[in-house]
Amino acid sequence: MKLPKPTLAALALCLVAPLTACSGSGSDSSSGPVKLVLRQFDPESETKGLAAAIHTWNERHPHIQVELETLSPNNVQQFAREANSGSGPDIDQIGYSDVQFLARPRILLPLDSYLDKDPPAGASGLLATDATRFEGKTWAMPWTADTMALVHNPKALADAGITHPPTTWEELAADAKRISAHDSGATKGFCFPGSGSVTSAQWFAINYFLWSHGSTLVKKDADGNWTTGVSRRQLTRAIDYFDGLFRSGATPAGNKAVQDYSDPTIVNGLARGSCAMSYLPPSTFAPLRQQAKKSGTELRAAVMPEGLKTGATHLGGRALGINRNTAHPGAAWKVVKYLMSATTFKTYDQLPASKATLATVDVPASQKAYTDQLPHARSFGRYLGSGATITSFQEVVDQNFSAVYSGQRSSEDAAGTILDGLDQALED
* Domain presence at residue 2: no
- Strands (DSSP E) contained in 174-244 are 188-190, 216-220, 226-229
Question: Do 222 and 289 belong together in one domain?
Answer: yes
Q: Say what the pLDDT of residue 2 is.
A: 46
Question: Do 341 and 394 belong together in one domain?
Answer: no
Is pLDDT above 60 for 24? no
**The domain containing residue 258 runs over which residues?**
149-314+380-427
Q: Do 315 and 205 contact (CB within 8 A), yes or no?
A: no
pLDDT-derived band at 411 (thresholds 50, 70, 90) equals very high
- Strands (DSSP E) contained in 337-385 are 351-352
pLDDT-derived band at 75 (thresholds 50, 70, 90) equals confident
Question: Do 323 and 310 belong together in one domain?
Answer: no
- Strands (DSSP E) contained in 224-372 are 226-229, 275-280, 300-302, 316-322, 351-352
Q: Do 182 and 318 contact (CB within 8 A), yes or no?
A: no
Q: Say what the pLDDT of residue 233 is.
A: 98
Is pLDDT above 50 for 22? no
Residue range 188-203: average pLDDT? Answer: 97
Mean confidence (pLDDT) of the chain: 92
Question: Do 76 and 166 belong together in one domain?
Answer: no
Say how many C-beta atoms besides its own lie within 10 A of residue 16's C-beta: 7
* Domain presence at residue 144: no
Lowest mean pLDDT among 29-43, 148-162, 230-244, 414-428: 29-43
Q: Do 166 and 159 contact (CB within 8 A), yes or no?
A: no
Q: Is the peptide bond before 18 cis (omega within 30 degrees of 0)?
A: no
Is pLDDT above 70 for 10? no
CATH code of the domain containing 246? 3.40.190.10
* Domain presence at residue 408: yes
Q: Say what the pLDDT of residue 294 is.
A: 94
Question: Do 416 and 286 belong together in one domain?
Answer: yes
pLDDT in tens, 286-320: 999 999 999 999 999 999 999 999 999 999 999 99
* Domain presence at residue 79: yes
Is pLDDT above 60 for 23? no
Question: Do 324 and 204 belong together in one domain?
Answer: no
* Domain presence at residue 87: yes
Question: Do 191 and 298 belong together in one domain?
Answer: yes
Residue range 124-140: average pLDDT? Answer: 94
Say how many C-beta atoms besides its own lie within 10 A of residue 253's C-beta: 11
Q: How far apart are CA 415 and CA 217, in angstroms?
A: 11
Q: Say what the pLDDT of residue 361 is.
A: 87
Say how many C-beta atoms besides its own lie within 10 A of residue 31's C-beta: 7
Question: Do 101 and 51 belong together in one domain?
Answer: yes
Question: Do 155 and 132 belong together in one domain?
Answer: no
* Of 378 and 75, the one with more pLDDT: 378
Question: Do 224 and 131 belong together in one domain?
Answer: no
Lowest mean pLDDT among 13-27, 115-129, 231-245, 278-292: 13-27
* Domain presence at residue 98: yes
Is pLDDT above 50 for 341? yes
pLDDT-derived band at 11 (thresholds 50, 70, 90) equals very low
* Domain presence at residue 406: yes
pLDDT-derived band at 384 (thresholds 50, 70, 90) equals confident
pLDDT-derived band at 187 (thresholds 50, 70, 90) equals very high
* Domain presence at residue 120: yes
Phi-psi region of 67 (alpha: psi -120 to 50; beta: other; left: phi over 0): beta
pLDDT-derived band at 13 (thresholds 50, 70, 90) equals very low
Q: Say what the pLDDT of residue 30 is.
A: 59
Is pLDDT above 50 for 7? no
Q: Do 304 and 374 contact (CB within 8 A), yes or no?
A: no
What residues contact residue 68 under an 8 Å CB cut-off, 6+ apart?
38, 40, 47, 50, 51, 54
Please count the residues of the chain.
428
Of all residues in the chain, the percent with pLDDT exceeding 90 is 83
Nearest CA-CA partner of 323 in 104, 87, 141, 129? 87
Is pLDDT above 70 for 347? yes
Is pLDDT above 70 for 18? no
In the chain, count H helices and then E strands.
18, 14
Of all residues in the chain, the percent with pLDDT exceeding 70 is 93
Residue range 195-210: average pLDDT? Answer: 97
Q: Say what the pLDDT of residue 180 is.
A: 98
Is pLDDT above 60 for 278? yes
Residue type, position 146, single letter:
D
- Strands (DSSP E) contained in 77-236 are 91-95, 133-134, 137-138, 141-146, 149-152, 188-190, 216-220, 226-229
Q: Total structural domains in the chain?
A: 2
Q: Say what the pLDDT of residue 363 is.
A: 87
Q: Say what the pLDDT of residue 45 is.
A: 81
pLDDT in tens, 99-118: 999 999 999 999 999 999 99
Say how many C-beta atoms besides its own lie within 10 A of residue 378's C-beta: 18
Question: Do 348 and 275 belong together in one domain?
Answer: no
Q: Using the 8-state DSSP alphabet, how is residue 104 labeled?
A: T
Is pLDDT above 90 for 9? no
CA 205 to chain centre: 13
- Entry pTM: 0.85
Question: Do 115 and 199 belong together in one domain?
Answer: no
Torsion over CA: 58, 63, 67, 68 (sign): negative
